A and B are shown apart, each in its own frame.
Chain A
Amino acid sequence: MRSVVAVTERVVETPSTVTLRFPYPAAVDPGQFVMLWLPGDDELPMSLSYTDGPSKGVTIKAMGETTLRAQSIRTGDRVGVRGPYGNHFDTSPKRVLIVSGGSGAAALAPAAGRARAAGSSVTVALGATRAAELLFRERFRAMGARVEVATDDGSEGTKGFVTAVAERLLSSEPFDAVWTCGPEVMMKKVIVAAKARSVPVFCSMERHMKCALGMCDACAIGPYHVCVDGPVFPAPRIENLSDFAAFHRDSSGRRVPL
Chain B
Amino acid sequence: MAELAVRCAGVSLRNPFLLASGVWGESGESLAGAWNAGAGGVITKSIGSAVRPGYPNPTIETYEHWGLLNAMGLPNPGIDEYPREIEIARKAGATVIGSIFAGDAEEFARLAVRMAATGVVALELNLSCPHAEGFGTEVGGTPGDVEKVVRAVTKVVTIPVIAKITPNTGDPAGLALAAERGGAAAVSAINTLRAIAIDVHLRRPVLSHGLGGLSGRAVKPVGLACVWQIFEKVKIPVIGVGGIASAQDALEYVMAGACALEVGTQVTFDGVQVFGTLARDLSRLLDELGFSRVEDAVGVAHRTGSAPPDGSPRPLR
Question: Residues of A with Cβ closer than 8 Å to B?
Answer: 1-2, 4, 35, 37, 39-44, 78, 80, 82, 210-218, 220, 222-223, 225, 228, 249-255
Contact = CB atoms under 8 A, between A and B. Distances in A.
20 contacts: A4-B199, A37-B58, A42-B57, A43-B57, A43-B208, A78-B202, A82-B58, A211-B70, A214-B24, A214-B271, A215-B22, A215-B24, A215-B264, A216-B26, A217-B30, A220-B24, A223-B32, A252-B77, A254-B77, A255-B77
Nearest 7 CB-CB pairings of A with B? A43-B57, A217-B26, A251-B53, A253-B26, A254-B77, A215-B268, A220-B27
Interface stretch (B60-68, B93-101, B177-185): B60-68
B63 to A, nearest CB: 10
A253 B60 contact: no
Contact of A252 (B53, B57, B61): B53
B45 interface: yes
A253 B202 contact: no
A188 B81 CA distance: 27
A80 B75 CA distance: 23
Given A35-B57, A216-B72, A252-B52, A222 B202 contact: no
Given A216-B72, A217-B25, A254-B77, A2 B61 contact: yes
A158 B245 CA distance: 56
A211 B53 CA distance: 14
A37 B23 CA distance: 23
A213 B270 CA distance: 10
A211 B268 CA distance: 10
Interface in B173-226: 199, 201-202, 204, 206, 208
A218 B58 CA distance: 14
Interface string B72-92: 100111100100000000000
A253 B75 contact: yes
B65 to A, nearest CB: 11
A252 B305 CA distance: 51
Contacts of A218: 26, 75
A2 B81 CA distance: 35
A135 to B, nearest CB: 25
B54 interface: yes
Given A43-B58, A220-B30, A253-B75, 19 more contacts: A4-B199, A4-B201, A4-B202, A37-B57, A37-B58, A43-B56, A43-B59, A78-B202, A210-B54, A214-B271, A215-B264, A217-B23, A217-B30, A222-B29, A249-B27, A251-B54, A252-B52, A252-B78, A254-B81
B77 A217 contact: no
Contacts of B206: 2, 80
A82 to B, nearest CB: 7
A118 to B, nearest CB: 31
B57 A253 contact: no
A77 to B, nearest CB: 11
Interface size class on chain B is 35 or more
Contacts, number: 115
B143 interface: no
Contacts of B58: 35, 37, 43, 80, 82
Given A82-B62, A252-B76, A40 B268 contact: no
B33 interface: yes
B30 A253 contact: no
Contacts of B264: 215
Given A80-B199, A253-B76, A254-B81, A211 B60 contact: yes
Interface string B128-148: 000000000000000000000
Given A253-B26, A253-B27, A254-B51, A216 B59 contact: yes
B116 interface: no
B285 interface: no
Contacts of B68: 213, 215
B253 to A, nearest CB: 21
B45 A217 contact: yes
Contacts of B204: 39-40
Interface string B249-287: 000000000000000110110010000000000000000
B93 to A, nearest CB: 15
Contacts of A40: 204
Nearest to A66: B56
Contacts of A44: 57
Contacts of B75: 210, 216, 218, 251-253
B53 A220 contact: no
Interface in B3-61: 22-27, 29-30, 32-33, 45, 51-54, 56-61
Contacts of A2: 61-62, 206
Nearest to B23: A215
A255 B84 CA distance: 11
B85 to A, nearest CB: 8
A252 B61 CA distance: 20
Contacts of A42: 56-57, 208
Contacts of A80: 58, 199, 202, 206
B53 A250 contact: yes
